[in-house]
Each structure stands twice: as structure tokens, then as C-alpha cells.
């Protein structure tokens, strides 16, 4: 063992012991265990807390345990490790001065293999939004100098051959819905490991950044650069509130190219979990998975959770083994929390964070059941303050802009012309909120969404929370619009339920319900009934596509 590697292994072992003493929840979960001995310490020293480390430690501790069940079959931890290392050798064998690996793939091995290979090969990785247009994909390739692209074949038509040739991009087809003669495929690479068996993997990989793309709907999405964590402090903050444990079986349909899905995959692999996922979300399939695979946890987002709750005759599926449901990505409404508890029991946890900043706060199942409006206490390992417009810290109870930092906070954007909005080392998350008397974070909505109606502050999200409980409402979204009398007013877009209550719902009913629950300045001026809300692949509403916005 080289001196530098020995030093990194020794440092990793000390770090693990220190964290065990400092964060008992990490030890109780089994995520930092003694199984694997020196091999575990070596994996930590080489790979830090990367996907490669989690795959490696899973192989060392439980090689024959199922790691993944996806649309392409089953993989044990040993198979996941060997296939990821084969891909890493293929990347190294390309002879590139620097591996800049782009991935445009839906949930499954098509994105997990590259995430692990990134750590084994010492590459930088760019997780591209599957909703990106042809122009946005081209922009991402050019702006970020991506030289290898792993892409599902359904997105190949968005790929400009001229750009591929000019950039010298090596294209690898991930999921295959048809044959691709002459193309390099992910399946072909991992099924022929002997082709690169003599290519050595670096003993001390460089660990380039992991870049997640913002959910931009126009222009080139912002590339958010994150460091691979050396210490699992953010993980410890999660484990204090969400009862992850070793060897759990989990259904995950949060988008893995997005912050929440990517984070959840790494936590699940660290727990040597069996992950069940599909490329396309189907709420009935989720319940079927939980029943058939005897799953014990579910990783979700509110937009998906709502659809799961709308599945007819849910008693067809046995979900009694679920120990927890953890949601993130969008705000939970109190009504959705109450519906979830009624259906599954008090097992729903909520994680609040952002693409740039990852974890801000976590509400445990007990905290959320007691108060469906809380975002929970600030997470362990996160430094958070509420600041006013001048950057001054506000006392508890006063509304201001949320700023924070932790070990996985962005180091910058891939486009150096985009500034990081910092105050005193803390990064602006873009949301308004306050800390209540119990020390819990309360999030009121996006800073840019808040409007002033007749001198009163109105948070459109508060209107959504109220209307989500109105019988006949399936989905709702509120936004500020121009108004000749008060400058700004609230407008609301509603998707009716397919029910008698939905058919009978009128704009007057909507306004009356808001009037009964909120102040008059929150009553929507406009109520639009539409067939569906325009959403991006992560489930966020795209306001510019709403009919009547700006009128």
C-alpha cells in the first residue's frame, strides 16, 4: 500500500470512529459498520463518500444482496460493483486528458453505473435534465466541454450529430428500446469486461465535481457544481430524523438526475439497501412494488405522492411493511400530509433543501404528524440564518430570506459569469421563511413569488395549501398577476378531480373557500380550470406555460 493511500485510509478510519462518537444515529443505522474491516477503510480513503464508495462497501459487506431492481432486471452489489468498474475502465481507455461525463438517463442502472464509475475513474460528472430540449442539450455539451455522454435512446433525436462530431463526444447508449447497430451501448460495455480488463483504475481518484443542472425551462440550464463529500455530516443530519437502517428495501421514484433523487440513491446504497425503481413513474406500479417486493421505505416527492394516494382500491396492495416515507423536492401541503397519514399511518418525513444547497432541515414523522406545516429543525451539519434584505440576521419569528451552508453546498456554477449569492459565507436559497419559537424552520415560498396586494404581503403558496383541501380539487397552483387597481393580485389554476365534486366546482366556490380560510387580499382574482398543470420532469410547475398568466 502506498504511503499516500495508507495516510488516506488511516484518516478515513479516524474519521469513521470520530463520526461514530459524534453521531450515534450513523452507527445505529448500520451505514458505518465494521463489516468489511480494512477494506471498508480503504474504500473510504480512496473514494470518500461518493457513489463509488457506497457500491464498493456494499460489495465488501454484502456482495450477494440485491442492490437494484429496475426495468432491465436485478443486480447484486457484486454485479453493480463489477459493471461500474468495467464502465470506469472503458472511460479511462478512451484516452481523454480529462473525463467530463454527461448523463441524460431516467431512473435505473443507466444513471447509477455512471455515478459509480465517476468515482472509480476520477471523472467529473454532469447530470442532465431529461426534459432538456435539443437546444439546451447542445448548450450543456458545449458550455461544459462534455466529452462522454451516456444517454437513453429516447433522447438521441435531441442530439445534434454535428455538435457530437465537433466536440468529439463519445456517445454511449444507456437504456435501449431498440437495437442500435454501430453504436456503443452501456449493456455492450458491461457484458464484455475482458475488453478493458488490463486497464488499471487509479488508486487515488481525483474526484472531480458532480454537477447537477437547475430546472431551467429556457436557455442553458445552470450547472450547479458540488464537491464530493469527505465527511457524511449531511447524511448524519438526515439519519437523525429519517429512520434509514442497514439492509432496508426501498422504492425510489424521485428523479435521480435531480438533487433529491441523487441524494437518496447514495443514502440507500450506503445502507446496503435494495433499491426498486422504474424509468417511468406509475403510481399503481409503486404500490405493486411495495406489495410484491415487501418494501420497507419509499422515497418520493409531493406530486408523486398525491398521485399514489389517488390510486383506486388501494387495499389491493399490502403496504403494511412500510417503515417510513420520505418526501422532498416540493412543498407538502397540510392536506397532503393528513391524507398520507390516513392512508399509510404516521410514517411521513419531509426534507427541505435546494439544488444548490442540498439539506436545510428535516421533519421527522413524529414532528410532521404533530404539525403538518413544519419543515422541521435545521439539520445537523447545516448552518442556517434568516436575513433581511440588507443581510442582517433576523430574530426568531421574523420573516426573511433563508441563507445556509453545509459540506455539500455548491462551490459555484459551471458558467463563471453566474454569481453565487452569498452573505457572510452563507448562500441564499431563494425562499422566504422564519424560525419559530420551537426552533423549527417555516418556509413561506419563493422570494420572487411573494406579491403585495393593497399593501399586504401575499404568499401564493399559502393559497395553494388552503385550496388543496377543497373537495373537487385535484391539483392547484397560484401565482401573482398584474392588476390595474392593486398592481398585483393572485390568480389560481386548478385541475378538477374526476368526481362529482370536481364536476360541480366553480370559480365562486374557490373564492369562497379562500375567503373562509384566509384574508381578503389572498382571494384569487382569476380562477382558471385546466386539464393539467404544465410540469417539468421533476414535477415543478412551469409558470410561463400557464394559460392567462400575465393577462
384 backbone dihedrals φ, ψ, rounded to 5°: -130, 140
By C-alpha distance, which of 104, 158, 151 is closest to 130? 104
Q: What is the pLDDT of residues 512-534, one digit of tens each?
A: 999 988 888 889 999 999 999 99
| Alpha helices, DSSP H, located in 168-256 | 186-190, 233-239
pLDDT of residue 355 exceeding 80, the answer is no
pLDDT of residue 550 exceeding 60, the answer is no
Average pLDDT over every residue of 242-255: 94
* SS3 (DSSP) at 492: strand
pLDDT number for residue 233: 66
Percent of the chain with pLDDT over 90: 61
First-residue to last-residue Cα distance in the chain: 68
**From 11-15, 33-37, 326-330, 349-353, the region with the lowest mean pLDDT:** 11-15
By C-alpha distance, which of 55, 105, 102 is closest to 81? 55
By C-alpha distance, which of 186, 202, 228, 194 is closest to 84? 186
pLDDT number for residue 215: 61
pLDDT of residue 63 exceeding 90, the answer is yes
* SS3 (DSSP) at 261: helix
pLDDT number for residue 353: 86
The CATH 3.40.50.980 portion of the chain extends over 3-226
Neighbours of 404 (CB within 10 A): 25
Average pLDDT over every residue of 404-429: 87
* CA–CA gap between residue 280 and residue 107 (Å, rounded): 8
Q: Where does the pLDDT of residue 421 fall: very low under 50, low under 70, confident under 90, or very high at 90 and above?
A: confident
Positive or negative, the CA dihedral 185, 190, 194, 197 is positive
Q: What is the pLDDT of residues 480-509, one digit of tens each?
A: 888 777 678 889 999 999 999 999 999 999
The CATH 3.30.300.30 portion of the chain extends over 451-545
Q: Where does the pLDDT of residue 536 fall: very low under 50, low under 70, confident under 90, or very high at 90 and above?
A: confident
* CA–CA gap between residue 431 and residue 441 (Å, rounded): 11
pLDDT number for residue 416: 85
70 backbone dihedrals φ, ψ, rounded to 5°: -130, -170
The CATH 3.40.50.12780 portion of the chain extends over 233-446
Q: What is the pLDDT of residues 121-149, one digit of tens each?
A: 999 999 998 988 899 899 999 999 999 99
- CATH code, 233-446: 3.40.50.12780
* CA–CA gap between residue 223 and residue 417 (Å, rounded): 12
Q: Is residue 122 left, alpha or beta, with left meaning phi > 0 and alpha meaning psi from -120 to 50? A: left
pLDDT number for residue 45: 65
Q: Which cell numbers hold the place of 434? A: 422564519
Q: Where does the pLDDT of residue 376 fall: very low under 50, low under 70, confident under 90, or very high at 90 and above?
A: very high
By C-alpha distance, which of 383, 29, 80, 15 is closest to 235? 29
pLDDT number for residue 28: 52
Average pLDDT over every residue of 181-206: 94
* CA–CA gap between residue 358 and residue 356 (Å, rounded): 6
Q: Where does the pLDDT of residue 448 fall: very low under 50, low under 70, confident under 90, or very high at 90 and above?
A: confident
The DSSP string of 510-545 is: HHHHHHHHS-GGGS-SEEEE-S---B-TTS-B-GGG
By C-alpha distance, which of 374, 526, 550, 386 is closest to 463? 526
Q: What is the 3-state secondary structure (H, E, C) of 143-173?
A: HCCCCEEEECHHHHHHCCHHHHHHHCCEEEE
253 backbone dihedrals φ, ψ, rounded to 5°: -120, 5
Q: Which cell numbers hold the place of 13? A: 478510519
- The number of residues in the chain equals 551
* CA–CA gap between residue 113 and residue 121 (Å, rounded): 12
* CA–CA gap between residue 523 and residue 520 (Å, rounded): 5
7's enclosing H/E stretch is: helix 3-22
Neighbours of 24 (CB within 10 A): 13
pTM over 0.95: no
What pairing do the DSSP bridges indicate for beta strands 223-226 and 412-413? antiparallel
Q: Which cell numbers hold the place of 117? A: 464509475
Please, what is the Cα angle at 266 between 272 and 401, to 5 degrees?
140
Class of domain 451-545: alpha beta
Which CATH fold would you assign to the domain 3-226? Rossmann fold (3.40.50)
**From 28-32, 237-241, 330-334, the region with the lowest mean pLDDT:** 28-32
379 within 8 A of 359, measured Cβ to Cβ: yes
* SS3 (DSSP) at 433: strand
Amino acid at each position: 500500500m502506498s504511503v499516500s493511500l495508507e495516510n488516506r485510509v488511516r484518516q478515513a478510519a479516524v474519521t469513521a470512529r470520530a463520526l461514530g462518537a459524534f453521531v450515534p444515529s450513523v452507527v445505529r443505522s448500520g451505514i458505518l459498520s465494521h463489516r468489511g474491516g480494512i477494506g471498508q477503510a480503504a474504500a473510504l480513503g480512496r473514494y470518500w463518500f461518493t457513489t463509488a464508495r457506497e457500491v464498493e462497501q456494499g460489495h465488501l459487506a454484502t456482495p450477494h444482496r440485491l442492490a437494484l431492481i429496475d426495468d432491465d432486471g436485478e443486480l447484486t452489489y457484486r454485479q453493480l460493483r463489477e459493471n461500474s468498474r468495467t464502465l470506469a475502465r472503458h472511460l479511462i481507455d478512451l484516452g481523454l486528458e480529462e473525463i467530463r461525463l454527461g448523463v441524460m438517463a431516467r431512473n435505473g442502472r443507466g444513471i447509477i453505473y455512471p455515478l459509480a464509475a465517476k468515482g472509480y475513474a476520477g471523472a467529473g460528472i454532469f447530470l442532465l435534465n431529461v426534459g432538456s430540449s435539443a437546444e439546451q442539450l447542445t448548450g450543456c455539451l458545449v458550455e461544459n466541454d462534455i466529452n462522454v455522454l451516456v444517454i437513453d435512446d429516447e433522447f438521441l433525436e435531441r442530439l445534434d450529430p454535428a455538435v457530437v462530431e465537433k466536440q468529439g463526444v463519445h456517445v454511449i447508449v444507456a437504456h435501449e428500446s431498440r437495437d442500435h447497430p454501430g453504436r456503443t451501448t452501456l449493456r455492450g460495455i458491461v457484458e464484455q469486461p475482458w475488453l478493458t480488463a488490463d486497464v488499471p483504475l487509479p488508486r487515488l481518484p481525483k474526484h472531480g465535481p458532480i454537477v447537477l443542472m437547475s430546472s431551467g425551462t429556457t436557455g442553458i440550464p445552470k450547472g450547479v457544481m458540488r464537491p464530493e463529500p469527505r465527511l457524511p455530516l449531511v447524511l448524519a443530519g438526515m439519519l437523525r430524523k429519517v429512520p434509514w437502517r442497514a439492509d432496508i428495501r426501498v422504492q425510489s421514484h424521485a428523479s435521480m438526475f435531480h438533487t433529491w433523487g441523487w441524494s437518496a440513491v447514495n443514502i440507500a446504497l450506503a445502507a446496503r439497501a435494495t433499491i426498486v425503481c422504474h424509468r417511468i413513474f406509475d403510481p399503481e406500479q409503486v404500490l405493486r412494488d411495495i406489495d410484491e417486493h415487501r418494501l420497507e421505505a419509499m422515497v418520493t416527492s409531493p406530486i408523486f405522492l398525491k398521485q399514489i394516494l389517488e390510486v383506486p382500491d388501494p387495499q389491493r396492495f399490502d403496504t403494511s411493511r412500510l417503515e417510513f416515507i420520505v418526501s422532498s423536492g416540493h412543498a407538502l401541503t397540510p392536506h397532503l400530509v393528513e391524507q398520507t397519514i390516513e392512508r399509510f399511518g404516521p410514517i411521513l418525513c419531509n426534507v427541505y433543501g435546494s439544488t444548490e444547497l442540498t439539506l436545510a432541515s428535516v421533519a421527522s414523522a413524529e414532528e410532521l404528524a404533530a404539525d403538518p406545516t413544519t419543515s422541521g429543525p435545521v439539520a445537523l451539519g447545516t448552518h442556517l440564518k434568516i436575513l433581511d434584505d440588507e443581510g442582517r440576521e433576523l430574530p426568531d419569528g421574523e420573516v426573511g430570506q433563508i441563507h445556509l451552508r453545509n459540506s455539500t453546498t455548491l462551490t459555484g456554477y459551471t458558467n463563471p459569469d453566474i454569481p453565487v449569492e452569498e452573505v457572510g459565507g452563507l448562500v441564499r436559497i431563494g425562499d422566504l421563511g422564519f424560525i419559530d419559537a420551537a426552533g423549527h424552520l417555516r418556509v413561506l415560498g419563493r422570494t420572487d413569488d411573494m406579491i403585495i396586494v393593497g399593501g399586504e404581503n401575499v404568499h401564493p403558496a399559502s393559497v395553494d395549501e388552503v385550496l388543496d383541501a377543497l373537495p373537487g380539487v385535484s391539483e392547484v397552483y397560484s401565482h401573482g398577476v398584474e392588476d390595474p387597481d392593486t398592481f398585483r393580485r393572485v390568480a389560481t389554476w386548478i385541475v378538477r378531480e374526476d368526481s362529482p365534486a370536481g364536476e360541480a366546482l366553480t370559480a365562486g366556490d374557490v373564492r369562497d373557500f379562500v375567503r373562509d380560510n384566509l384574508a381578503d387580499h389572498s382571494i384569487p382574482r382569476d380562477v382558471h380550470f385546466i386539464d393539467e398543470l404544465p410540469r417539468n420532469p421533476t414535477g415543478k410547475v412551469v409558470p410561463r406555460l400557464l394559460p392567462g398568466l400575465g393577462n
